[in-house]
Amino acid sequence: MNKNDLSFTGEILHTPFSKPDAYGALSMPVYQNVAYEFNTAEEMEAAFLGKSAENTYSRITNPTVQYFENRVQKITGALSVTALNSGMAAISNSIITLAQTGSNIVTSKHLFGNTYSFFASTMASFAVETRFCDLTNPDEVESRIDANTCAIFLEIITNPQMEVADLMALSIISKQKGVPLVADTTIIPFCSFKAKDWGINIEIVSSTKYVSGGATSLGGLIIDYGNFGWISSPKLHSMAKEFGTAAFTLKLRKEIHRNLGAYMTPQVAYLQSLGLETLTLRYERATTSCWHLVKRLEILPEVESINYTGITCNPFYKLSTQQFGSHPGAMFTFNLASREACFSFLNKLKLVKRATNLFDNKTLAIHPASTIFGTFSQDVRHEMHVSGKTIRISVGLEDFEDLFVDIKQAIS
Ligand SMILES: *Cc1c(COP(=O)(O)O)cnc(C)c1O
């Protein structure tokens, strides 16, 4: 079989080590070390100056982490992949690579809680402005961009609002305005959604979720597709003159990621490489169950409304199906009559776990307003459209019939 014809899982399983292991180990060993020994001072100098690709120190590179990065690079066709120790580290490292004092970021208020806080508080304290707008309205997005805009940032399906932006429309604006499109794709993994085909320049993934293989570890990925001309970026302009489309990766790898010190650890890279091997199988199983579960729950009288972009009554159904296929992820939300009804539902669950996190192998339920968004003011929650009547479910690998029985008894 031609190596080029391998499917996602085949490609993942057969990505070779960049250097053979001394013992021929069939899975990538965990190189649980900090430093690397050199034969000569000259070789050491070359490695430190970046004139050779040898490792020097595991905050910067490590063979096990590089193996994980290479696997992701192979199947995404990216220019570079950087693995960090959480999804938030991937977001903060990529934004700090792009932004400087006086920059602004165009995004929506429909964001993961810590991402919102990172923009609204952390970046604001360095005089980086965040312009919150409606990303489903391309004209509004366009009107908020100016010469200091360093990124359009979005989540491909927002959580818990389940909003879907038109990626083609945003990518056209991104190209016209010379502003990179940075997307958090955690909700739909790269085995199913090809970010590059939708004009995304920098893809960010919390690999804690689907990739880790059952909530084994925290992790994050920055995937640079090398498809943006950084000459228009105020911060990367001079690097772009010298390094072209590699400017972002070079700034990230030679400066930001070293200085922030949030590189993935070897043990985690090992676990998440294993997670990649079963990603397609788990994703297909969980999303199929999710779809069936939504169809069964949507008709229950206690369920006031149900929010999943893979059902025809959802306002984003058409766009979601075009962009993400018929089973868009394994997370959905539904509304009950009141906050009290939500708490009572959670307390009656027997199989489904009361826990945060997404895409564990186990099915999880949470009341976002009182937990993830619990410390936000009522006003901010209102602006973010986080309702006190909403329950979020992340569907795992159980049989969906068992899940339906548990959820139904807890609702009634
Ligand atoms: C969980 C999550 C994050 C943060 O990831 P961590 O690995 O927990 O830091 C960011 N974005 C989205 C969409 C998430 O679901």
Which tens digits make up the pLDDT trace of 145-161? 999 999 999 999 999 99
User: In 58-189, which residue ranges form alpha helices assigned H by DSSP?
Assistant: 63-76, 87-98, 113-117, 138-144, 167-177
Partners of 80 in the β-ladder: 224
Report phi then psi at 153, rounded to 5. -115, 135
Angle (CA) 189-192-196 rounded to 5° is: 85
- Once rounded to an integer, what is the mean pLDDT over residues 239-253? 97
Alpha carbons within 13 A on the beta-carbon side of 99: 28
Mutate to test the pocket of ligand 1, among 114, 162, 205, 359 (most ligand atoms within 8 A of CB): 114
Q: Quote the ligand 1 centre to 26 CA distance (angstroms).
A: 31
pLDDT surpassing 70 at residue 295: yes
- Once rounded to an integer, what is the mean pLDDT over residues 172-201? 97
Instruction: Note whether 264 and 339 are same-domain residues.
Output: no
Instruction: Note whether 270 and 297 are same-domain residues.
Output: no
Q: What is the CATH number of the domain that holds 212?
A: 3.40.640.10
Whole-number Å distance between alpha carbons of 83 and 134:
30
Angle (CA) 206-243-264 rounded to 5° is: 25
Q: Quote the ligand 1 centre to 238 CA distance (angstroms).
A: 32
Residue 375: how many other CB atoms lie within 10 Å: 9
Q: Which domain holds residue 329?
A: 280-411
pLDDT surpassing 60 at residue 75: yes
Q: Which residues line ligand 1 (CB under 6 A)?
A: 86-88, 112, 115, 155, 159, 184, 186, 206, 208-209, 218, 220, 358
Instruction: Note whether 306 and 401 are same-domain residues.
Output: yes
Q: Quote the ligand 1 centre to 40 CA distance (angstroms).
A: 43
pLDDT the model gives residue 41: 98
Q: Quote the ligand 1 centre to 267 CA distance (angstroms).
A: 20
Instruction: Note whether 263 and 334 are same-domain residues.
Output: no
The residue whose C-alpha atom lies closest to atom 7 belonging to ligand 1 is: 87
Whole-number Å distance between alpha carbons of 394 and 387:
17
- Once rounded to an integer, what is the mean pLDDT over residues 396-411? 97
The residue whose C-alpha atom lies closest to atom 4 belonging to ligand 1 is: 87
Instruction: Note whether 352 and 213 are same-domain residues.
Output: no
Instruction: Note whether 101 and 207 are same-domain residues.
Output: yes
Ligand 1: nearest atom to the Cα of 89? 9
Instruction: Note whether 236 and 357 are same-domain residues.
Output: no
Instruction: Note whether 43 and 151 are same-domain residues.
Output: yes
Q: What is the CATH number of the domain that holds 304?
A: 3.90.1150.10
pLDDT the model gives residue 1: 46
Instruction: Note whether 285 and 268 are same-domain residues.
Output: no
The residue whose C-alpha atom lies closest to atom 13 belonging to ligand 1 is: 186
Sign of the alpha-carbon torsion through 272, 275, 279, 285 = negative
Q: Quote the ligand 1 centre to 206 CA distance (angstroms).
A: 5
> What's the domain count of the chain?
2
The residue whose C-alpha atom lies closest to atom 2 belonging to ligand 1 is: 206
Q: Quote the ligand 1 centre to 53 CA distance (angstroms).
A: 31
**Single pTM value for the model:** 0.96
Partners of 394 in the β-ladder: 331, 364
Instruction: Note whether 95 and 21 are same-domain residues.
Output: yes
Of the ranges 5-14, 222-231, 394-403, which one carries the lowest mean pLDDT score?
5-14
Ligand 1: nearest atom to the Cα of 186? 13
Q: Mean of the per-residue pLDDT values for the chain?
A: 96
Instruction: Note whether 301 and 256 are same-domain residues.
Output: no
The answer to whether 396 and 362 are in contact (CB under 8 A) is yes
DSSP 3-state of 82: strand
Q: Which of 185, 246, 231 is nearest to 211 (CA)?
A: 185
Q: Which of 324, 391, 370, 21 is nearest to 163 (CA)?
A: 324
pLDDT the model gives residue 19: 87
| Residue 230 identity (one-letter amino acid) | W
Whole-number Å distance between alpha carbons of 175 and 163:
23
Q: Which of 182, 196, 113 is nearest to 376 (CA)?
A: 113
Q: Quote the ligand 1 centre to 152 CA distance (angstroms).
A: 18
Model pLDDT for residues 3-58, shown as the tens digit of each residue = 566 889 998 999 888 888 899 999 999 999 999 999 999 999 999 999 999 999 99
Q: Quote the ligand 1 centre to 406 CA distance (angstroms).
A: 27
Ligand 1: nearest atom to the Cα of 159? 13
- Estimate the share of the chain in helix, then strand, then coil, as percent rounded to the nearest 5: 45, 15, 45
Q: Quote the ligand 1 centre to 244 CA distance (angstroms).
A: 30
Model pLDDT for residues 78-129, shown as the tens digit of each residue = 999 999 999 999 999 999 999 999 999 999 999 999 999 999 999 999 999 9
pLDDT surpassing 90 at residue 290: yes
Whole-number Å distance between alpha carbons of 32 and 48:
20
pLDDT surpassing 80 at residue 394: yes
- Once rounded to an integer, what is the mean pLDDT over residues 243-268? 98
Whole-number Å distance between alpha carbons of 87 and 380:
23
